[in-house]
Structure 1
Amino acid sequence: MTIPFCRDGFALPVTPALLTQLHQALANTTLDLERLTQLTFNFRSPTYSPEQGGAHPVEVRLICGLDGWLFDYVTDFSYQGLGQDTELCKELDFNFLDDEHYLQGWGPMQRAEAHELFSLWQSNFLTYVQMGYFTVTVSGD
């Protein structure tokens, strides 16, 4: 199934390769886009841990707009803290609809910084996807 994305474009530079990954993930489900208002894609590496590190978990949320599907957010998580205090936290958060972007340790980012960082992040993420680091689940409401 192909996701009909909004024709007005995206707030950040989304590549066709990322769209293809989302299409492929959705194709492996029985979800019916006609009945949904949101889709959430969870990319998880089974080997990622606080001790060993690895490919960070990523969540991508799309919402259905009047002219097609829109990116709501892309969030990259990482373990933070030591020992018993370790917890999974947002490391990168790209909020497309509100044009608010955040990098842990840096804070809010301006649009130009977010564009540059998103491009770099996206390239790395797609490489990890192609290398088979993730299991993907898709849910919808």
Structure 2
Amino acid sequence: MRIHYEELALPVSKHLADALAELLTKQSLIGDCVTINFRDPNYDAENGGFHPVEIRLEKRDEAWHVCYITDFAYVGIGPYAELVKELDFDFQSGVFQNLFGVFPIEQATEMYQIWESNFLYYWFELSVYEVSVSA
């Protein structure tokens, strides 16, 4: 199983690509699209926690390609809080979106590197996520 990570608009690491490939290898996948959700079961609007993350991959030319990586967060207070995209790295559309607007994806290089490093630490070192894969 191969995840294409080279020559993308953002520096997706081999570590992340290998981790996703290993995760997909353990699944019985049917189809050419997969969505991976990472959830901290204790995350809520009142107490915080680790943000939910969604990664979408599509299979093309015998390799899986990253379509987008989205990090969600609660915005608002109490019963009015809602889960929104806090960071959205959309590789297919070539844009990066955060709470301040939409930008060319290349402008998110530093932000992406920090985000990915933190995400991998939370996933592997802290084991905070429940992971689900849907095709």
Q: TM-score, normalised by structure 1?
A: 0.86
2:33 alignment partner in structure 1: 38
1:29 aligns with 2:27: yes
Shift, 1:27, TM fit = 3.2
- Identity over the aligned pairs, expressed in percent? 38
2:71 alignment partner in structure 1: 76
1:121 alignment partner in structure 2: 115
Report the AA paired with residue 21 of structure 2: H
Shift, 1:21, TM fit = 2.0
Shift, 1:16, TM fit = 1.2
Confirm or deny: 8 A CA contact 2:9 2:106 kept in the other structure. Answer: no
Query: What is the rounded CA distance, in whole Å, between the counterparts of 1:6 and 1:15 in structure 2?
Result: 10
Query: What is the rounded CA distance, in whole Å, between the counterparts of 2:22 and 2:41 in structure 1?
Result: 20
1:50 alignment partner in structure 2: 45
Q: Secondary structure at the match of 1:121?
A: helix
Query: What is the rounded CA distance, in whole Å, between the counterparts of 2:5 and 2:78 in structure 1?
Result: 47
1:5 alignment partner in structure 2: 3
Q: For structure 2, list consecutive stretches of 5 or more residues without a partner in the other structure.
A: none
Q: Are residues 24 and 67 of structure 1, via their aligned partners in 2, closer, same or farther at CA, if it must alter by over 3 Å? A: closer
Shift, 1:125, TM fit = 0.5
1:14 alignment partner in structure 2: 12
Aligned length, in residue pairs: 134
Confirm or deny: 8 A CA contact 1:11 1:99 kept in the other structure. Answer: yes
